[in-house]
Amino acid sequence: MIQLIGSLSEIGAGTRGSSLGLQAMQLASLSTNPQFFKDQHIEMVREDNAIMHRENPALHGKYIVAIADMYDRISSHVKQVMSAGDTPFLISGDHSNAGGSIAGIHQAFPNKTLGVVWIDAHTDLHSPYTSPSGNVHGMPLATAIADDNLASATNQPSEAVVAAWERMKGPSQRLQTKHLAFVGVRSTEVPEDNLLKKHSIPNHTVASLRKEGVAAIVNHIKIQMQHCDHVYVSFDVDSMDPSVSYGTGTPVEGGLRLEEASDLLQMLASWDKVSCMEFTEINPLLDMKGNAMGEAAFALLDQTVETLADRSHV
């Protein structure tokens, strides 16, 4: 069974509004598939806003203590769903939530091998030691691979930030870099480039996807992750071109077309190793085209959930 999980924390981002992404998709569903959210129970992960408001937004890890608490809540939900044999599908606010999802998969299956497909304009490989903004939505994958990237350090985070950061990384590395693949990344900083080079992490660019075709890119990923037991797919809507994804916090030119994103998500969802998926960074407050981002995201969600459901019935 597919279990939708709403994890709407947005405090890892530099702008507010992505906590409304689920509502934007619910609104969009009314004109195309009004039954969708009636048929799908959504389990909500609640954010303790009181903690966030009491916390000093530290320079190199803004609201990181509250985000570490969210990691614990999200990981607990994901672990519970996966341990029951179900498939979690997360709709999250900002991308910092994804670190909690990865933690939950690892907690549910600590002795299994995890692969991650990160569909995004950004690598999100910063740490408090390297982040130019201190926004934690640029850091979730660094918690998963447990690499602080000290060789590229430019910051000296406070003891409180470091303590929260260590909590988020957990006691053991959750993801081996050889089992990580990027799709659509086109905006990075030097510290992230250094990590990509250090670990030889593949990035399937939009240009390569158009040259080789979506099926070929998915096949490359399947070969790379052939020894993985579980694969997690995280889809940030800014992986798409701003002509589609203007309603997101960090749009970057040259992204995926809606049809390309659809094909990619359907092919991945039909893969039996994929056991957890996530949509993130849908921000209707930044959408200058009404609810265009919500409509596009819901269309993709509807198709992807249907593909997962069809797979479970085979």
* Whole-angstrom distance, CA of residue 51 vs CA of residue 70: 11
Q: What is the mean pLDDT of the chain?
A: 94
More confident residue, 312 or 276: 276
- Tokens standing for residue 16: 């507010």
Q: Going from the N-terminus, what domains does the chain have, and what CATH number goes with each? A: 2-312 (3.40.800.10)
Confidence of residue 54 (pLDDT cuts 50, 70, 90): low
Task: Tally DSSP H helices, then E strands, for the chain.
Answer: 13, 8
pLDDT at 259: 98
* Whole-angstrom distance, CA of residue 178 vs CA of residue 197: 12
Distances from the Cα of 181 to the Cα of 205, 286, 306, angstroms: 11, 29, 24
User: Do 62 and 137 meet the contact criterion of CB atoms below 8 Å apart?
Assistant: no
- Tokens standing for residue 53: 């408001």
pLDDT at 250: 87
- Tokens standing for residue 109: 């299956």
- Tokens standing for residue 11: 């405090």
Given a cut of 80, whether residue 235 has pLDDT beyond it is: yes
Given a cut of 80, whether residue 270 has pLDDT beyond it is: yes
* Whole-angstrom distance, CA of residue 241 vs CA of residue 114: 29
Please, which residues bridge with residue 42 across strands? 4
* Residue that has been written with the tokens 């019935």 in this structure: 313
Given a cut of 60, whether residue 314 has pLDDT beyond it is: no
Q: What is the mean pLDDT of residues 156-163?
A: 94
